[in-house]
Amino acid sequence: NQDEDKLTEYMDELEFLAFTAGATVQKRFTQKLTQPDSKTFIGSGKAQEIKEYVKENEIGTIIFDDELSPSQLKNLEKEIEVKILDRTNLILDIFAQRAQTSYARTQVELAQYQYLLPRLTRMWTHLERQKGGIGMRGPGETEIETDRRIIRDRITLLKDKLKTIDKQMATQRNNRGKVVRAALVGYTNVGKSTLMNALSKSDVFAENKLFATLDTTVRKVVIGNLPFLLTDTVGFIRKLPTQLVESFKSTLDEVREADLLIHVVDISHESFEDQVESVNNTLMEINAHQKPMIMVFNKIDDFSYDKKDEDDLTPSTKRNISLEEWTKTWMGKSKYPTVFISALTKENFPEMKKMIYDEVMKIHISRFPYND
């Protein structure tokens, strides 16, 4: 049953996001509707069912996988009497927790204000803000209650600030001169930071949560005497809030201006094909899909045949697959150079490095045709 598999997978991802934000999920509710209810998003029977569950189990927050309209949020909060977050809010919160540079913090603040503006009159902003918690990090209470004009002014200010930093970053990129630039792209949590660390011997923050990477990191990497710059970009994710797509423009600039993309895929994830597609769509949107690319299928140490049937997972279903065997699969038949590795155990690293070297060298030679 494909629809149900998809649903479970979406809910798994949402639960992972919630976990990343610091919440524990108690129960999942789903409902099939031909279209969302314009007033409350879900039907009134379902709302009642949730309300009862919330009361009985002292649930603090309900999280929706979609972005709800401001009025839907308000109506539902009134009806269920609990704090409600949607996917956008949750993702913004995670970004707020993880923003490290002043640039990232400015971007998140801007996105939060843009999200907040049409939602100023919500009930729990008064009740819950003192207590803090998910969805509460960011603009403080007094600012929220101030009138919209002030928030609009703030948005203008933040946009100006970003423009200034954007210019500085563009200059920095120009100053990097003609060194070949490669960017790690891929869905969130596929192992980009781990690979970055392994290749540059640096210490980029890597953990099993979504969006461990917020700010781009640029490192100099040398393979076989050939130096190039490697950028670790923010993880792509399905249904990224539009406010973020806009405000993380400069993050994507690193991708747009890269000479070579290294597309990392988590082969142990049961829906890695969807993730690849999602990344490719984003690349298309920012017009970076025609760049030279290397496909790196990662986590081969964690690959097992029957992932979906967890009970059936015996060590025998995990077996060592040689690079030659991998290459014969459909994945190995892509139009891009493709390699299968483990960023953790460094399996097949020499092959990957050779592949990166070859691609970087091609670009290098096209730039300095008379050098040797």
CA distances for 8 relative to 13, 143, 150, 162, 218, angstroms: 9, 38, 42, 38, 36
Cβ atoms within 10 Å, residue 293: 23
Say whether residue 189 binds ligand GDP (CB under 6 A). yes
Whole-angstrom distance, CA of residue 93 vs CA of residue 113 = 12
Say whether residue 313 binds ligand GDP (CB under 6 A). no
CB-wise, 151 or 255, nearer to ligand GDP? 255
Judged by CB under 6 A, the stretch of 119-127, 157-165, 336-344, 361-369 that binds ligand GDP is 336-344
Judged by CB under 6 A, the stretch of 5-13, 139-147, 342-350, 354-362 that binds ligand GDP is 342-350
Q: Would you state the structure tokens that stand for residue 97, as one six-digit string?
A: 């927790």
Sites for ligand GDP among residues 200-229 (CB under 6 A): 206-208, 212-213
CB-wise, 88 or 189, nearer to ligand GDP? 189
Q: How far is the CB of 300 from ligand GDP (least distance, A)?
A: 7
User: Sign (positive/negative) of CA torsion 193, 194, 200, 205?
Assistant: positive
Whole-angstrom distance, CA of residue 180 vs CA of residue 258 = 8
CB-wise, 151 or 265, nearer to ligand GDP? 265
Q: How far is the CB of 268 from ligand GDP (least distance, A)?
A: 7
Q: How far is the CB of 81 from ligand GDP (least distance, A)?
A: 36
Q: Would you state the structure tokens that stand for residue 290, as one six-digit string?
A: 């025609």
- Half-sphere exposure of residue 370: CA atoms within 13 angstroms, side-chain side: 0
- Residue from the set 192, 238, 269, 364 that interacts with ligand GDP by CB under 6 A: 192
- Residue from the set 40, 106, 107, 188 that interacts with ligand GDP by CB under 6 A: 188
Residues in contact with 32: Cβ distance below 8 Å, sequence separation at least 6, in sequence order:
none
Q: How far is the CB of 165 from ligand GDP (least distance, A)?
A: 23
Say whether residue 351 binds ligand GDP (CB under 6 A). no
CB-wise, 98 or 181, nearer to ligand GDP? 98
Whole-angstrom distance, CA of residue 175 vs CA of residue 10 = 42
User: How many of the chain's residues bind ligand GDP (CB under 6 A)?
Assistant: 21
Greatest CA span in the chain, whole angstroms?
A: 75
Whole-angstrom distance, CA of residue 360 vs CA of residue 358 = 6
DSSP letters along 247-316, please?
Answer: HTHHHHHHHHT-SEEEEEEETTSTTHHHHHHHHHHHHHHTT-TTS-EEEEEE-GGG--TTTT-GGG--GG
Bridge partners (DSSP) of residue 340 are 297
User: Sign (positive/negative) of CA torsion 104, 105, 110, 113?
Assistant: positive
CB-wise, 18 or 162, nearer to ligand GDP? 18
Judged by CB under 6 A, the stretch of 72-80, 150-158, 298-306, 309-317 that binds ligand GDP is 298-306
Q: Which amino acid is at 30?
A: T
Say whether residue 190 binds ligand GDP (CB under 6 A). yes
Q: How far is the CB of 320 from ligand GDP (least distance, A)?
A: 14
Q: How far is the CB of 223 from ligand GDP (least distance, A)?
A: 19
Q: How far is the CB of 19 from ligand GDP (least distance, A)?
A: 13
Q: How far is the CB of 144 from ligand GDP (least distance, A)?
A: 31
Q: How far is the CB of 293 from ligand GDP (least distance, A)?
A: 16
Say whether residue 13 binds ligand GDP (CB under 6 A). no
- Residue from the set 88, 194, 251, 282 that interacts with ligand GDP by CB under 6 A: 194
Judged by CB under 6 A, the stretch of 80-88, 175-183, 184-192, 362-370 that binds ligand GDP is 184-192
CB-wise, 23 or 262, nearer to ligand GDP? 262
Q: Are strands 226-232 and 217-223 parallel, antiparallel or unpaired?
A: antiparallel
CA distances for 151 relative to 154, 204, 229, angstroms: 5, 35, 39
Contacts to ligand GDP by CB under 6 A: 186, 188-194, 206-208, 212-213, 235, 298-299, 301-302, 342-344
